Amino acid sequence: MLSILVLHGPNLNLLGKREPGVYGIETLADINQSLEGDARSLQVQLVTYQSNHEGALVDAIHAALGTHQGILINPGAYTHTSVAIRDAIAAVDLPTVEVHLSNVYRRESFRHHSYIAPVAIGQISGFGLESYRLGLRGLVQYLRQQNAKR
């Protein structure tokens, strides 16, 4: 069975309270619950983790090697600042999908650059909770296609 690591970056623990006009009213628990339902229907295992600390996210990415087959990540603000997270994803070489609740390209210009996108197989933004769900489906489909080629 495929195992996917879902990483939530800084401030995502405040979803539902934090700028609902930008990030929606769903909580992190709502997102995880929705993803768990999708994982059951897709017949994949899901492990979720949230941290406000860059090093903890890097450690989780490193620990994914040999345990998970793919990573679904919302790096939050680290998208635009973290070479360390980018390098960790490149180092473990696991298929990774970057997701964002808001459309980062309709926001401040500093949010238009992602250090993660060049090492990810795809990026989905702007659909709220659906960004995560679409990202999970895309990642699972990609992994299954790669496995079928082997």
Q: Catalytic residues, which ones?
A: 23, 100
Q: Residue 85, SS3?
A: helix
Residues making up the annotated binding site for substrate are 74, 80, 87, 101-102, 111
Please provide the size of the chain in residues: 150
Burial of 6 (0-12, 13-18, 19+ CB in 10 A): buried
Q: Which two tokens stand for residue 110?
A: 């500093």
| Strand 122-125, strand 70-74: pairing | unpaired
Contact 7, 61 (CB under 8 A): yes
From the list 90, 89, 97, the residue with the least C-alpha distance to 125 is: 97
From the list 36, 60, 38, 63, the residue with the least C-alpha distance to 141 is: 38
Beta bridge partners of 46: 4
